[in-house]
Amino acid sequence: MTPVQQLRQRLAEGRIVMAPGAPDALTARLVERAGFPAVYMTGFGATASRLGMPDIGLLSQTEMTTHARDMARATTLPIIADADTGYGGPSNIHRTVREYVQAGVVAIHLEDQVAPKRCGQMAGIRLMDMAESGLRLRCALEARGADDLLVIGRTDALPAQGVDEAVRRARHYQDCGVDLVFVDGIKKIAEIEAVARAVPGPKVVSIVDGNETTRLTSADLQQLGFSVVLYAVTTLFTAVHAVSQALADLHAHGTPGTSRVGQIDYAGFCAQVDLDFHKDLDDRYGT
């Protein structure tokens, strides 16, 4: 099956899709090796890995779709990608959808913030009019044409205006025809439960490390009625902590041999990036 067929089958079977976030192509490959059914191309992680800066709308459409294309080359997993606000007006949204389809992405989410957007966990979110956002989602649905791309309507209303407004918007986006809805900015278990009760149908939830929502397992979330769970920052936060600790130890002791952080060895790393495949090509076809 194609990646999008894999994702659609799992959704049809009612099995929750666990999609860890990957800030880069190498991490996407690690997500696949770990046995997950999908990977999430997080804008938060993409901005951090490409710019070393916060997720405040700094990456362009071209940078994001290039990032997606690189990730699609590195993994056979279905890629669920952050498409921010669509990067402009209706023509920009149309181009965004076409670029993501050509990049090999199987699902995108579009959010209802005004530009410049920011991470859904941050303060200071400004929302666009709900009706306007619904029209933009309809534009994205039209733009996909006959291509098998899932469109996710995301609302960031919860931190800005509360759960009732987030639910109202999510249900409106369902009426616009999106495949799934996504209430972002959730930080509490009570908020997850409120969304689960009030929003029927296929829906996405994001579990952010450091919030109390990490107490809920994927099985708990499936029982609550969620179809997809994104773990947007788990790999990124873990990597930053490990690298920072390793560098601190190297600086203090003058050698990596005293590091308190476990490491993969050289051979193990080469296996992760499929060096043997390329060596075989060189052996058979090189001069």
**CA dist., res. 184 & res. 170, Å (int):** 10
Per-residue pLDDT tens digits for 104-158: 999 999 999 987 776 767 667 889 999 999 999 999 999 999 999 999 999 999 9
pLDDT-derived band at 277, boundaries 50, 70, 90: very high
CATH code at 3-240: 3.20.20.60
Tell me, what's the pLDDT at 123? Answer: 65
Does an H or E element contain 193, and which?
A: helix 189-198
pLDDT band, residue 265 (cuts 50/70/90): very high
Instruction: Give the pLDDT band of residue 258 (cuts 50, 70, 90).
Output: confident
Beta-carbon contacts of 84 under 8 Å, excluding residues fewer than 6 positions away, are: 43, 57, 59, 64, 110, 111, 117
- Helix (H) or strand (E) holding 180, with range, is strand 180-183
- Look at 164 and 287; give whichever has higher pLDDT: 164
Category of 151 on φ-ψ map: left (φ > 0), alpha (ψ -120 to 50) or beta:
beta
**Degrees to nearest 5, angle at CA 85 with 84 and 88:** 125
pLDDT at 259 over 90: no
Task: Please tell me the predicted confidence (pLDDT) of residue 7.
Answer: 96
Q: What is the pLDDT of residues 73-100, one digit of tens each?
A: 999 999 999 999 999 999 999 999 999 9
Tokens 């900015």 found at: 185
How far apart are the C-alpha atoms of 222 and 227, rounded to whole Å?
7
Tell me the residue ranges of DSSP E strands in 103-169.
107-111, 150-155
106's CB contacts (< 8 A; 6+ apart) are 3, 4, 7, 78, 79, 80, 148, 149, 150
Q: Which of 51-60, 99-108, 165-174 has the lowest mean pLDDT?
A: 51-60
User: What confidence tens digit (pLDDT) does each residue in 167-223 have?
Assistant: 999 999 999 999 999 999 999 999 999 999 999 999 999 999 999 999 999 999 999
**Is 270 a catalytic site residue?**
no
pLDDT at 122: 65
Q: What is the mean pLDDT of residues 261-278?
A: 93
Provide the whole-model pTM.
0.95
Q: Which of 119, 139, 176, 270 is catalytic?
A: 119
